Amino acid sequence: AIYRGRCHQTCDRCGLYYRCSTSFPYAHPLSVHLQVPLIARAVGDRGLVSQLLGPKFGAFLVCGSLGGKSIPGLAPLVSIKQVYKLEYVNANTKVFGVISNPVGHSKGPVLHNPAFRHTGYNGIYVPMLVDDIKEFFRVYSCTDFAGFSVGIPHKEAAIGCCDEVHPLAKSIGAVNTIVRRPTDGKLVGYNTDCEACITAIEDALRERRIANGEASHTSPLYGKVFVLVGAGGAGRAMAFGAKSRGAQVVIFNRNYERAKALAQAVSGKALPYECLDKFCPENGMILANASAVGMQPNINQTPVSKEALGAYELVFDAVYTPRNTRLLQEAAEAGAIVVSGVEMFIRQALGQFKLFTDGLAPGDFMRQIVLEQF
Ligand SMILES: NC(=O)c1ccc[n+]([C@@H]2O[C@H](COP(=O)([O-])OP(=O)(O)OC[C@H]3O[C@@H](n4cnc5c(N)ncnc54)[C@H](OP(=O)(O)O)[C@@H]3O)[C@@H](O)[C@H]2O)c1
């Protein structure tokens, strides 16, 4: 039987979350009294999670699309078999996911699912297209939903959804990881973006220093002008990280008020977005793009003109889809050290995996997947 219900309630038996109109109350009694097995599946992009979690909640059948093509609400058969491996999902499987909007670009599933299996952890990691994060956590209160990556645009609002927030995440004002504590079910928020991007930049600078025979114990960011584009969740993490290393943080953001508020929080400086290309107080600065400019599908966009890139020793781009953004290509042509958002992605994912599983992340394995597949 195929029932195309459109509701906004949760089934406490199957854990599925139905959004839209009101037919769920009719579907639920139907499933209770039905003499034959019934698979309920939400459709569209928001319904994908119901398809992928079917086996956890007792479904004996899962559908996938053919030809590697993703259809809204239906994952390609090839990823059901190779990424999610739904044949291993059972009632004890812990559910993790990325809460974001949009969510289709996230590489989390292709990284975390194989890492779960590599370490023998019974978990699944799914994309969760979420509009309203508060409503999401109200509905997904079941302890089986054990942990979440938080993406665009929810990182700041996620703080208000947590019962406890790690001090670093609290000072940053953004959470990118939420773990449901097994002992009491409380939601605890963390930020793994901050150390991920700052250590990626530091390691690249140190490599250059060592090659030049200039090794030092202090952070290579100490005293540097750190030009930050973007003041959203990722931008806040970078601003606090750069400040913690003694850099002078200068922030440019499309929304100037947001830049000013962040600059004040890190004792930095905010300048109007239009001045970014002309900003050149010295050579050898660090540029970090934490805005969504250049992200798929807008891959021809770049936040800084090629001509202005000569002033930077290192250019980092948080955008990781595509891996080699226009900004990074032009920065390399201008002679800068370039650090891809993929490096940050690997490091923040390792941090998340440790928090999710309360154990060590398989670093080499996860790095290999990212470098092979992204
Ligand atoms: N590599 C990684 O591991 C990693 C981790 C986190 C994030 N990221 C990437 O970092 C980027 C930002 O993520 P987020 O979580 O910080 O998102 P967010 O909180 O939604 O912030 C988005 C930022 O991008 C700016 N922005 C968006 N569209 C713009 C446009 N057309 N022109 C100028 N500025 C624009 C926003 O400026 P306004 O304030 O003016 O709106 C804001 O500063 C995304 O591309 C994301 O994929 C990568």
Report if residue 123 sits inside a domain.
no
Which residue's CA is the nearest one to ligand 1's atom 7?
A: 234
Give the closest residue to 292 by CA, choosing from 325, 261, 256.
325
Q: Are 340 and 210 members of one domain?
A: yes
CA 58–ligand 1 middle distance (angstroms):
38
Which residue's CA is the nearest one to ligand 1's atom 20?
A: 153
Residue where a domain stops, chosen among 53, 88, 123: 88
Which pair of tokens denotes residue 213?
Answer: 């025979």
CA 105–ligand 1 middle distance (angstroms):
13
Which three-class secondary structure string do you get for the chain? CCCCCCCCCECCCCCCECCCCCCHHHHHHHHHHCCCCCCCCCCCHHHHHHHHCHHHHCCCCCCCECCCCCECCECEHHHHHHHHCHHHCCCCCEEEEEEECCCCCCCHHHHHHHHHHHHCCCEEEEEEECCCHHHHHHHCCCCCEEEEEECCCCCCHHHHHCCEECHHHHHHCCCCEEEECCCCCCEEEECCHHHHHHHHHHHHHHHHHHHCCCCCCCCCCCCCEEEEECCCHHHHHHHHHHHHCCCEEEEEECCHHHHHHHHHHCCCEEEEHHHHHHCCCCCCEEEEECCCCCCCCCCCCCCCCHHHHHHEEEEEECCCCCCCCHHHHHHHHCCCEEEEHHHHHHHHHHHHHHHHHCCCCCHHHHHHHHHHHC
Q: Is 107 a catalytic residue?
A: no
Angle between helices 108-119 and 341-357 in degrees, nearest 10: 40
CA 232–ligand 1 middle distance (angstroms):
6
Cα separation, 173 vs 165, whole angstroms: 10
Report pLDDT for 276. Answer: 98
Ligand 1 pocket list (CB less than 6 A): 152-153, 155, 193, 230-235, 253-255, 258, 290-293, 295, 318-320, 341, 344-345, 348
Report if residue 116 sits inside a domain.
no
Ligand 1 pocket, mutate which of 112, 152, 325 (most atoms under 8 A from CB): 152
Report if residue 101 sits inside a domain.
no
Which residue's CA is the nearest one to ligand 1's atom 33?
A: 254
Backbone angles phi, psi at 270, to 5 degrees: -115, 140
Q: Are 75 and 215 members of one domain?
A: no
Which residue's CA is the nearest one to ligand 1's atom 31?
A: 293
Ligand 1 pocket, mutate which of 98, 255, 291 (most atoms under 8 A from CB): 291
Q: Which of 94, 107, 155, 224 is catalytic?
A: 155
Report pLDDT for 217. Answer: 87
Q: Are 340 and 200 members of one domain?
A: yes
Using the atom order of ligand 1, give the atom closest to the CA of residue 254: 40
Determine how β-strand 187-190 pairs with β-strand 177-180: antiparallel
Q: Check: CB of residue 164 under 8 Å from CB of residue 185.
A: no
Report if residue 206 sits inside a domain.
yes
Ligand 1 pocket, mutate which of 254, 277, 367 (most atoms under 8 A from CB): 254
- Domain containing 29 equals 1-88
Q: What is the pLDDT along the chain (374 residues), one digit of tens a residue?
A: 333 333 344 444 444 444 433 344 455 566 667 777 777 777 788 889 988 999 998 888 888 889 877 788 888 999 999 999 999 999 999 999 999 999 887 889 999 999 999 999 999 999 999 999 999 999 999 999 999 999 989 999 999 999 999 999 999 999 999 999 999 999 999 999 999 999 999 999 999 999 999 978 899 999 999 999 999 889 999 999 999 999 999 999 999 999 999 999 999 999 999 999 999 999 999 999 999 999 999 999 999 999 999 999 999 999 998 999 999 999 999 999 999 999 999 999 999 999 999 988 999 999 999 988 87
Using the atom order of ligand 1, give the atom closest to the CA of residue 156: 19
Report pLDDT for 18. Answer: 43
CA 251–ligand 1 middle distance (angstroms):
13
Residue where a domain stops, chosen among 88, 103, 123: 88
Q: Check: CB of residue 225 under 8 Å from CB of residue 231.
A: no
Report if residue 129 sits inside a domain.
no
Report if residue 313 sits inside a domain.
yes
Residue where a domain stops, chosen among 33, 57, 88: 88
Report if residue 112 sits inside a domain.
no
Report if residue 103 sits inside a domain.
no
Domain count, the chain: 2
Q: Are 81 and 207 members of one domain?
A: no
Q: What CATH number should be reported for the domain holding residue 259?
A: 3.40.50.720
Report pLDDT for 122. Answer: 97
Q: Check: CB of residue 52 under 8 Å from CB of residue 75.
A: yes
CA 22–ligand 1 middle distance (angstroms):
35
Which residue's CA is the nearest one to ligand 1's atom 42?
A: 232
Q: Are 206 and 334 members of one domain?
A: yes
Report pLDDT for 15. Answer: 43
Q: Check: CB of residue 75 under 8 Å from CB of residue 69.
A: no
Report pLDDT for 27. Answer: 56
Report pLDDT for 51. Answer: 87
